[in-house]
Amino acid sequence: MDVQGYKWVRWRVWLCRLAALLSLGLLLMVFHWRPRLAVLARCRSCPLALADVLLLRDSFGQQHVVEVLTEEMEAGSLELLGQQEEADWRDTVQLHKEEKTLLRYYLYEGLRYIWLDRKGAFCRVSVLSEDWTCRDLYGFQKGLSPQEQSLRRCMFGANLIDVPVKSYMRLLFEEVLNPFYIFQVFSITLWTIDEYYLYALCIFIISVISISISLYETRKQSITLRNMAQFITNVTIHRDSGEEERVSSVELVPGDCLIIPQDGLVLPCDAALLAGECLVNESMLTGESVPVLKTPLPVGDRTYSSETERRHTLFCGTHIIQAKGGRPGGSGAVAVVTSTGFFTAKGNLVSSILYPQPINFRFYQDAMKFLLILGVIAFIGTIYIFVILFRTNVTWLQLIIRSLDVVTIAVPPALPAAITTGTIYAQSRLKKRGIFCISPPRINVCGKVSVFCFDKTGTLTEEGLDVWGVMESGPAGLSELVPDPKLLPPGHMRSALGCCHTVTLLRGEPLGDPLELKMVDSTGWTLQEPEGEGDAVHAAFGGHKVLAVMRPPTQRPHSLGTTSSEAIAIVKRFPFSSALQRMSVVTVSHEGRSALAFLKGSPEMVASLCDSDTVPAQFSSTLRNFSSEGLRVLALACKPVDVNSDLTNIERGEVEKEMQFLGFLMMKNLVKPESPEVINILTLAHVRSVMVTGDNILTAVNVAKSCGMVRSDEKVIFVIATPHTAEAMPSLRFSEEDVGASAGQSPRDVTNQGLYQAGSSYHLAINGKSFAALCDHFPEHLPKVLLKATVFARMAPDQKTQLVKELQQLNYRVGMCGDGANDCGALRAADVGVSLSEAEASVASPFTSNTQNISCVPLLIREGRCSLVTSFSLFRYMALYSLIQFCSVLILNTVLTTMADMQFLFCDLFLVTLLAIVMGRGGPSEELHPWRPPASLLALPVFGSLFIHTCMIVLGQLAAFFITTTQEGYIPLNSTVFGAENLPNMENTCVFALAGYQYIIMAVVVTKSFPHKKPLYHNVIFLCLLLIHFAVMTSLVLYPGPFLGQIFKLYNFTDMNFKMLLVAVAALNFLVCFVVELLIDLGILNCLRLLRGRRPSKKQYKRLKALLSDSASWPPLDQTLSSTEHSVISFS
């Protein structure tokens, strides 16, 4: 974030106040719209250290103005801090002549930034705690003194996620200063001076109602969000004096030692767990409904990070269901506060709702550009009217009013509001289908998605897995497949299956990861947990602190005549980590005779941590065979541990090395029945599907084939990239055989026949290690791999995020669908992130679906396309409505007359407003079409159709005008008077009649249905309204009657043939516009593109696709490329 400092200049401030007074507040209005101008006018640039005001430019190029705040600190308070922190914290101090200690800071989007003199910059206050190591956190276990806590509260601020709820007066002030309402005030004033009292009154009433509804909804949303965000409770903290104190959660600061009761609580801050275990419901945060077991943070000198230490971090807003093993008596747990307020995970969620990222979507950018174009048209119209009326004998007041009135007609102030109608309808329909959205503008973005990434487990496949079989490793290699783990002989493999997990008990019922629950259930072992102090249990296992006891089932005598039913105690758990691809436990046998460590994880990772002598020779081929069948394969290992060592505080790195390989556990993960159907729908709609998983690459390829991402007649080519090592240079290889698991095998010969031809079907598959090497050493090949890669396996969470961003670099609109647990980063980085969760909103993504399968994805894309098409229709309709009225006023003003008050009112409110409101109704098409709707308003078909329809409008009104003036009974206007005084007259009546029909005609013409919306007849209200409007308009033309004629100031034509001729002109106008729109939809305007010649696509991936289709050498099969080589195709 770019920050510039400014200091108040007194004489400039007073000068601006004087200018504001003289301009009747106009200058203040400009300063409100452009705060940067206010700063430049009142201040001078200065160093940040002396600044009173800061001008911030965020990463999106938007500018913000914030004021630097100061807070006096207690004298001598800094001496309370330890030597390690003192140097950093002293940076926040400024010593003035009065020797006062002042803290200088500013608040931006809820976050506090403090001045650090040593760094010469304002930094997030979290910088004071971001260098804490795990060992430092354990140092806080003794607690803070009241003085230390007070100082930290001064630095970090209150532990409060404070959502500002503005008063009605403040909201009214801000709403009225909106350019839209300023324009309305200007228009109403102008109409009042022009004696359009009724019209001005109606618009005023509508504006008041609109403002009232807007204020009510805004305040209601703010209160709802504040109630969700602001959580205050009483918590127990540990003081340095050894006492425990009950305090308000608002007073918590980073470094406080938090005591968590056995029954748990809703956490008011982020905290690192130091003692005991906690069962936590994190559905608010991740959307994951399965409770997660949190274990104590390992002691070490590495820097603590809540992201890398997720399994040891308790997040704000999550519900701790149960805490145990951390306090005397075996109940409760101990944690240290690491983040407070907006710096917490919950604060991050609230911040993303309060301050959403600006959406880089062309539709919204073009809408503003088009308003400027209408402004230019209004300016030209103003000059034209001024010149026309200047030649007549109108007064200067009338001249100015008539000239300015054109501006209020040509620029529709309701245009920005009208184009959101489609989004509002779509959001309502999505909510009924169980899809919740916290960022409505992204609904339109859904309509342009070109590639959708899917997580595998729990998204494409079922969450639960069934145990398929076990293979045990021995001196002779791998055993035969044992289908039921209960049939395994007693030994380390059986113990590993029974003990290597993080399953826990809640009210006697086992809870945990579905995979681990199935694994434990298949062994028949039972889980017990110590109650109370658990001294008897600890003593039974050699005095070690026991977390859980696993008891095997009663054994039948085996052929060897041995039985075993000894219980095993789990004394240390290292939970599963996606980044590490493994988890482990330390166990102790009965009476503490021996200790064993068990490891479970991905086979490749487990094998890398085992002694090579213990890994069987058939490891790679067996893994390949089972993975190719689509089975989820896990490997297990063990090693003896010194039973007399401190097992409770043993480090993970010490446990997870030099292991002995035990064997494989195979689990069947079935593809959800909806997945193949949805993937097929997306493929037919030309939306590319990509799988991003943490599973084995062969398992992922099998699932990709099962769900239809890879067809049976398509080839899969594996991308193997290796990084730079001491022994070898980086290399890149494309092979039809996965040689990643066994580099020693020579790849089989393959033929390239047909592969290099344009349109040939092949898919690339790559794992996380190769993806990292490809990004680091072969960036020139990365775009080409991304273009054809369908399977990304063994991907860490941060690699998923990187993949989404790399696809966006190729100008793809990227969708991501996952369960929210390991995909948070990717879901938020994607243009459209969908989290499968039962929660209505989560920090994970803009969209949350409570349907636990991917059937929500086509629905979301269909709604997005429907909303985008509706927004286009409404935009064009509002623009054409302005141009119809603009044209009518210009024609009538030219002959010194105008439209009547009631005519304006009838057209604006009865005809246009009602049609615009219901036009967006009617849901999306039932099918997903291969053609995506355009997103640019300035594209040739959109701009071309607006131009042609405007010409038809002008010709239609001029035709009616000239037909009228050439009639036998034509009565010329009185040229000595102007405006309403000339009413009723023939010219006004004929132009009003045709304009009225044109409002109805254009509503039909610009309303699109096929292929992205249901046909027009599904929108029954819109259809009925069209018929009513047509009937009313026809009655006004043919049989107005004396009453309506008087109200609308209509001239009473007696010739029925003439009136029928006006209806015929309107019918012809409709026919021409309808046919023109039909031809434009069929691509008639594309012939104009042939004149300029074929241009390459603006989208990078399309240009790259065209280049690769002409290549005869990509991908180079079974050739090893080094990082110094360049491909035949270069692309930039």
Q: Which residues are marked as active site?
A: 455
Distance CA 111, CA 95 (A): 25
1129 contact partners, CB below 8 Å, separation of at least 6: 784, 1107, 1108, 1111, 1114
Strands 244-248 and 526-528: unpaired
Sign of CA dihedral 51, 57, 63, 64: negative
E strand or H helix at 9: none
Distance CA 222, CA 162 (A): 11
Q: 414 is written with which tokens?
A: 């309701």
Distances (CA, A) of 1048 to 900, 974, 995, 1043: 7, 19, 14, 9
Contact criterion met (CB below 8 Å) for 244 and 315: no
Indicate the burial class of 514 (C-beta count within 10 angstroms; 0-12, 13-18, 19 or more): middle
Which residue(s) pair with 436 in the sheet? 848
Distance CA 238, CA 335 (A): 10
Rg of the chain over Cα atoms, rounded to whole angstroms, equals 36
Contact criterion met (CB below 8 Å) for 336 and 255: yes
Distance CA 989, CA 984 (A): 7
Phi, psi of 160, rounded to the nearest 5 degrees? -145, 130
Q: What share of the chain is helix, strand, coil (3-state, %, to 5)?
A: 45, 20, 35
1090 contact partners, CB below 8 Å, separation of at least 6: none
Distance CA 85, CA 127 (A): 11
Least Cα distance to 106 among 31, 51, 37 occurs for 51
Helix, coil or strand: residue 641 = strand
Distance CA 1063, CA 990 (A): 10
Any idea which residue has 């409007």 for tokens?
A: 1029
Least Cα distance to 944 among 1104, 833, 1082 occurs for 1082
Strands 660-668 and 631-641: antiparallel
- 1036 Cα distance to chain centroid: 51
| Residues counted in the chain | 1132
Distance CA 781, CA 653 (A): 36
Q: 62 is written with which tokens?
A: 């938007």
